[in-house]
Structures are given as C-alpha cells and as structure tokens.
Amino acid sequence: MTAAVQVRALRHTWPGASTPTLIIDALDVDAGQTLFLRGPSGSGKSTLLALLAGVLVADGGDGEVRLLDASWRAMSAAQRDRHRADHLGYIFQQFNLLPYLSVIDNVRLPCRFSARRRQRAGSGAAERLLERMGMDASLWHRAAGVLSVGQQQRVAAARALIGAPEVVLADEPTSALDEDLRDAFMTLLLERCAEAGSALVFVSHDARLAPRFSRRVDLTTLNAAATVAA
Amino acid sequence: MTPLLGLAARSAWNRRFVLALVVASIALSTFLLLGIERIRQDVRASFSQAVSGTDLIVGARTGSVQLLLYSVFRIGQATQNMRYASAQALAGHRAVAWMVPLSLGDSHRGFPVLGTSAAYFAHFRHGNRQSLSLSQGRAFGAPGLFEVVLGAEVARRLGYALGQPVVISHGDGALTANDHADKPFTVVGVLAPTGTPVDRTVHISLESMEAIHLDWVAGVPLPGLKVPADQVTQHDLAPRQITAVMLGLKSRAAVFSVQRDIQSWRDEPLMAILPGVALDELWDVVGLGERALLAISALVAVVSAAGLVAVVLAGLDARRRELAILRAVGASPRHMLALLALEGGWVTLAGVGTGAVLHTVALALLAPWAQQHFGLVLNAGAALATQWGLIGALLAGGFLASLVPGWRAYRLSLADGLSPRT
C-alpha cells in the first residue's frame, strides 16, 4: 500500500522573504492514518497545508511533496487541479460553504469537478453522508448560509469526504466551535474518515484533541525553520 | 465549463440586486443604440420619400440643395423666380410627360402656402410612388379661385374643417398689415397624411395666388389700388412668375438630355436637378448630426460596459472566500476566469435582450404617435441589418469587458490559493 502523503527535504521560502518559512526533512502519512499536527499560528501551517494540497509548489531544491505517490512538482497546473479534485478533501477553519448553494449541493461540489469522485460516490452518497454527519433531512435543501457554525462544519466534512478521497486535510476545523460541538464534530469526522478509508491530516493548536488521533506530530519540532526562528 | 454553468447562475442570483442594476444599464444603452439607429434609418427613409416619381426639378439658377430645400421641403426662400412661360414651354417639350408648377412665398399661420395646378394632385408622388389622396372634400378646380386644400397636419393642428375661412399672409406672416385679409379663402379639401412636407402645406391654385397679388407691387399693397375679391375675374389671372417646376418624363432615359436642354435654356438662366442626387447631397450635410448621435449612444454603451466591469470587480474582493472554496474542491484558476466570463456573458445577454425587447415594445407603442406628430414613419417590423450588427457588437463588447474581472479572479485565485486574504 502506498503512502497517502510523503514529504521529503521540503523547503519553502516566500518570495521576498530572506529565510525559509518551512523546512521539513521527512513526513509520511500512511493510508487511513489519522495525523494530528499541532501547530500554533506562525508555525507555517497554512504554508504546509497549501503545499500538501498542491495549491503551492515548493520553490526550489530537490525536496518534494507526493500525494498518493504522485509528486505535485512533476505535474502541470491543470494536472494538479485534477489530482486534487480526485484524491483530496479539504476542510477550512470556517466559512466552508458557498452561501448561494443548498446544503446538499455544497456537499456534491467536488463531484462537479471530479468524475472519479462522482463515480465512487454513486447516487445518494450526499444524502447518506449528511445523515451520518447528523444533519436533519429538513436542512438539506436549505441555503447553506442559514446554518449555524457547527452545522456548517459538519456539512464541510461531508463535502470533504464525498467520493471517499484518499486524503482529507483539515485546517483547524473546530476552532470556531464550543466544547460540546467540538467533541461531537471530532467523533463524527474520525468515524467517517475511518469508514471511507481516508487518511486525515488535522492541523490544530488545541492539544486536547490530540489523544483521538493515531499519530501526533508537533509542527514546531517538525519544521526546522520554526525552531531556528524561535 | 460544465461544472460551472449552474454555479455561475446561482452565484449571480445570489448577487441579483447589484447585477440587476448592471443589466438595467446595459438594457438602457442597448435601447438607446437600437432606437437611435431605427430613427436614423427611418428619418432617412421618410426624408428620401418626400418626393418620388419626379424626374427633374427646375428653377432659377441657385444651388441644387437650395432648390430641393425650398421646392420639396418648403425650407428657405427662392432668391429668384422663373417665368411661367418657360414652365409652359417645358411642359411642351417632346420628352416631358407632365409638368407641375410650384409657386411659394406666402404662408398661413406659419404653414407654407403652395400655389400650383390641378396637375399637382394628379402627378405628385411620394414614398413608394404613392399619389396624394383626399381624406375630405375635393381638390380645387380650375381656376379654383379662393379655394384651399390643406395638408393633413395643417388641418389637424389648426382644427380646420371643410368650409373654414382662411386668410393667407404675405411672406412669412410676420406683419399683419401684409395679410391678404381682403380676399379670404375657403377650405374645400383636406389631404390624407403622407409623412412628407405635403402634410404641412396649404395648397391654392396659381390663379388664386395671382389674384391675391393683383393689387400688390414689389411685395407691398399698392396704395389707392384695391381690387375687391368679386372683381378679380375681370383681370388677367394667368400667372407670370413661379418658383419652380416638377417634371415627369415619358422615359427616364431622357433625363440627362432634358437636363442639358434646361441648363442651356435660351430665354432665361434655369437649372434642373435630379431629386435623388440632390437628396443624397442634402443627406451628406444632415448625416453629420445623426452620426454624432450614434457616436454618443456608442459612448453610452461603452460606459455601461465599464459599469459592468466596475461592479463585478468591486464585488470580487468579497468573493475571494468563494474562489478559495472552489479551489479546494478542485477548480482551477482557469475555472475562475470562465466563471466570471460566464457571469459577464449572461449579464450582457440579459441586458441586451431586455433592451431589444424594450426597443420593440416602445417602437410599437410610439410609431402611431411619431407619425401623427412628426410625420415620421417608424417601421415597427423586423430588425434592420445594422441593428443586428449593433446587437452583436454589444454582446461581444460586454463579454470582452467581463474578461477583465475574469482575469483578476484568475490572478487572485493563483495568489490566494486556499487562504484568501480578506
């Protein structure tokens, strides 16, 4: 089984910056693994997520990021977009949904851009996922904008998971939730990832969530650049 | 493109209020452009329809446009008259089928008075070779003394009916002392509307014209000489001078040889013009104004395209979150360009479509009114070829304009990636 994510000798310097934002020698995430990346703001987590998602490509050196054994660097921009649509789910901190689409259409959004996800999802997948995320059927056809923050994050998780992508990236998805909602959300997210067989890379500064994951890494130790800066 | 079609529509619907304003502005500029083009073409058509079937217009030597202006459009004054004897000689020319004499100069309450003969009602043609027809009464007879036939607009504007007494003013009627008040006329007929200067003309016979000027010399009433209306028949009413003549030829082929004959007329200096040629010359002058109008409305269209760009660009910053979400689910920056271009395209299409419908409706509603008040015949029928051209140009322009915010969205989504800087 190939690794879901492989990072090797990664260095990234933003244009105009004198020192690298990110230096990671190696990071591997196995298929189906759940990884808790603990990182306070300023630890380069946004940069790392962008690099993992292939929206950003490392600027130089021979370091690389591979998703399902395919190197982002080796792909053209169009190939990266297709690869991301086919194999990656992404959950933002908040404001995950397009307010003008209904809840169910937001969940189906990745299927618009990926035939593979559409086929893997089959019919009724969005409904099943929403149900499993505890979303009442009466909300499915409402505009996404009217949902509470907790509901929005659950819809976002359903969207990230539709068509069972191999990797789900989550950027502090619980930071806007209070404790009860957070725990419920984490349970649902981890259950669904397990069901779909998706590896989860979860970035957060909230150490209380860490015990729920199969593996924990501290970004400040992982990122050599952060250590230097600190 | 396909994943975007529905998205673009929903996203646009979400911002429908602002976009509706843009659609309205594009609709108005489309309406303006199409309307001006329609009026331009139809004014030109009714202009060129003021006279038809007349092969030559003859008058004393002057400019050809001047001769056309006063003989057909009753604009301005003739500087010189021609002899009626010449007109009669022309009528006898071997190539000439008919002759209509025109004598101008007097007016009635601002409407020009035309002295002519019964041949006018028989031979004058306008539009697509349509002859004059009477909506009420009859034409004046020969000599038809003190009988008047009104153009449709004169009758309508002054509220005249058959039997109405009419006093002709000398010249433009600026001096009431110059009224031919001693010899009132009576309305015997009213012409049907033509959409030409005929509608604004008061027609009398040449003999009547002569009769009201019996006791006048050099443009003023002669003191001590009064010819009462009931005694005019004792005088010679044969006209001596007229302003111009319309000629119809037996064969159009002879037009240039007859024109040459007239240019070298031995008894007096005359000129003959082909109405179509003179109309084209005249249109070259008038055309400047209409081209300016068209240019202004084209500018209005450019401004509304700029409005489209401004509104969409201004809204784009608020949509950076939307772009990031789409990027995260696998949309490419090119999708963003397409999304924005698609939106601009639809907004333009909606605007131009609305404007075109508005134009058609307005045309149908206003055509009778324009005909009645301005004598302008607006064709409410199918769109003109030039109008289709304008519609195409507006659509292309709007779409090209919407590539500007499209390009900006492309750049933004490249720069922002998954973390929009809002």
Looking up tokens 């910053």, which residue turns up? Answer: B317
Q: What chain B residue is nearest to A116 in terms of C-alpha separation?
A: B330
Express each pLDDT in A94-130 by its tens digit: 888 998 899 999 999 999 889 999 998 888 899 999 9
φ, ψ of residue B195 to 5 degrees: the values are 75, 20
Contact B13 A55 (CB under 8 A): no
φ, ψ of residue B135 to 5 degrees: the values are -90, -25
Diameter of chain B by CA atoms? 106
Q: List chain A residues with CB under 8 Å of B8.
A: none
- Minimum-distance CB partner of B332 among A77, A96, A110: A77
Contact A50 B322 (CB under 8 A): no
- Transcribe B33-82 into DSSP letters: HHHHHHHHHHHHHHHHTSSBS--EEEEESS-HHHHHHHHHS--S--SS-E
Contact A100 B331 (CB under 8 A): no
Residue B408 distance to chain A (closest CA, Å): 18
Q: List chain A residues with CB under 8 Å of B318.
A: none
**Could you say which DSSP state residue A24 is in?**
E
CB B27 within 8 Å of CB B362: no
Angle between helices A149-161 and A103-113 (to 10 degrees): 30
Q: How far apart are CA A64 and CA A51, in angstroms?
A: 9
- Transcribe B86-117 into DSSP letters: HHHHHHTSTTEEEEEEEB---EETTEEEEEE-
Contact B14 A50 (CB under 8 A): no
Residue A101 distance to chain B (closest CA, Å): 7
Please choose, from the candidates B61, B256, B307, B329, the residue with its C-alpha nearest in 3D space to the C-alpha of residue A112. Answer: B329
Output the six-digit token pair for A182.
């957070």
Q: List chain A residues with CB under 8 Å of B418.
A: 46, 49-50, 53, 55, 90, 92, 171
Q: List chain A residues with CB under 8 Å of B325.
A: 92, 95-98, 109
Please give the angle made by the CA atoms of A53, A58 and A59, to the nearest 5 degrees.
145
Q: List b or e across A126-141, with b for residues whose CB sees 16 or more CB atoms inside 10 angstroms.
A: beebbebbebeeebbe
Q: List chain B residues with CB under 8 Å of A78.
A: 332, 334
Q: How far apart are CA B241 and CA B86, in angstroms?
A: 9
Q: Digits of tens for pLDDT over chain A (230 positions)?
A: 578 999 988 888 888 888 888 888 889 999 989 999 998 877 788 889 989 998 888 776 678 898 888 899 889 888 999 999 999 999 998 888 998 899 999 999 999 889 999 998 888 899 999 998 888 999 999 988 889 988 999 999 999 999 999 999 999 999 888 888 899 899 999 999 999 999 999 999 888 999 999 999 998 888 887 655 44
> DSSP 3-state assignment of B165?
strand
